[in-house]
Amino acid sequence: MKLIAWTSVLAATAVVLAQQPAPSPSGEPLAHFHHVHLNSIDPDAAIAFFTSHFAAEPARFRGSSNDAGVAAVWAQRSWLFFDKVAQPPPSDVISPLYHIGWGAEDMKEEARRQLALGAVLETPLTDAVDVFGAGVRDRNFFMYVQSPERALIEVQTAVHHNFMHVHMLSDDPVAAADWYEKAFGLIRRGPPLRNARVFGGVPTGPAASLAVDNVTFWWYPTAHARSVYPKAWEGRTAYASNRGRVIDHFALSVDHLDQMIVRLRENGVTIVGPPGDVLGGRLRSMFVNGPDGVQIEIVEGHPRQP
């Protein structure tokens, strides 16, 4: 029960902050949101899960109009891709890439729907007021759904039921958000929480958030992960790589990859190998190292409606 409560505190913070309106951007960001890439022993089953449990549709990602494409998931304005792996991918929360999330207008009905579909809830439907002491009672709810391979998906109260966020962890959440703002022009959702904060004995700050397109990025402190998942963190002194895990990475997109490479190098960003073709030549991309060792894919060309 303690694990569920601690996980709920993290989600409750996000629920409260999600009610804050995003400021109007002063200009176009340098990058846009492109996709989340997951590992799966059965990509077809993973696609079926995501498209039945969340607002998303099966689609084929094509490099050209006469291309048969690869099976994927289209979620409003971005993609979910799946690589087939031989063994169940690790899912314990020891990388800086924590979970992804969708919204729901009626969370009580959504909880009933998820359970009817056979969903496993790591955190049941929870009122933010009960665990965080903030928000409006019986209005702001959240829950965590596990995919069959234990990818963690938050569903929270929103004015829509779409794909809406990527949640990360960091040794320095405020500095991490600053890095993404400088490197890719992501937009501030509001002032960061710069001070340490503890609720129920568990750290919930510092914290920060940014937005790009319809996706919000959240950062919470490493100390929170250590409190919520003590067994996974026992003896650990740093994050594990996100690569090879059930949620492998996310990708941002740019108009001109080579120009972005020059800009990132000028700003001291480490490029992980040269750019190359991926997804059977359908995308040209590269990886960069971000804060806390997270590897981020940068692709050339923006997502298009399939």
Name 276's Cβ contacts closer than 8 Å, sequence gap at least 6.
284, 285, 286
β 202-212/193-199 pair status: antiparallel
Query: How would CATH label the architecture of 2-21+29-300?
Result: Roll (3.10)
The yes-or-no verdict on residue 265 having pLDDT over 90 is yes
Other CB atoms within 10 Å distance of the CB of residue 68:
8
Q: Are 93 and 168 in contact (CB under 8 A)?
A: no
Q: What's residue 21's pLDDT?
A: 35
State which of 4-13, 22-31, 163-172 shows the largest mean pLDDT: 163-172
Cα separation, 168 vs 293, whole angstroms? 12
Averaged pLDDT, 256-268: 96
The arithmetic mean of pLDDT across residues 250-261, rounded, is 97
CA-to-CA separations, 80 to 17, 248, 282, in angstroms, rounded: 25, 11, 15
Segment 2-11 shows an average pLDDT of 42
pLDDT at 131: 61
What pLDDT is stored for residue 15 in this prediction?
A: 45
- Using pLDDT thresholds of 50, 70 and 90, give the confidence band for residue 197: confident
Residue 7 has pLDDT above 50, yes or no: no
Provide the pLDDT confidence category of residue 200 given band limits of 50, 70 and 90: low
* pTM beyond 0.75, yes or no: yes
> What integer is the mean pLDDT of 165-175?
97
Give the per-residue pLDDT at 189: 81
CB atoms within 10 A of CB 168: 25
Mean pLDDT of the 186-209 span = 86
pLDDT at site 198: 78
The one-letter code for the residue type at 65 is S
- Quote the percentage of the chain above a pLDDT of 90: 78
Provide the pLDDT confidence category of residue 16 given band limits of 50, 70 and 90: very low
Instruction: List beta partners, residue 78.
Output: 75
Q: Which pLDDT score is estimated for 61?
A: 97
Please give the helix or strand (H or E) that residue 17 lies within, else none: helix 2-18
Q: What is the pLDDT of residue 204?
A: 79
| Start-end of H helices in 188-302 | 222-228, 230-233, 257-266
**What pLDDT score was predicted for residue 201?**
74
Pick the more confident residue, 255 or 228. 255
Write down the pLDDT at residue 27.
Answer: 61
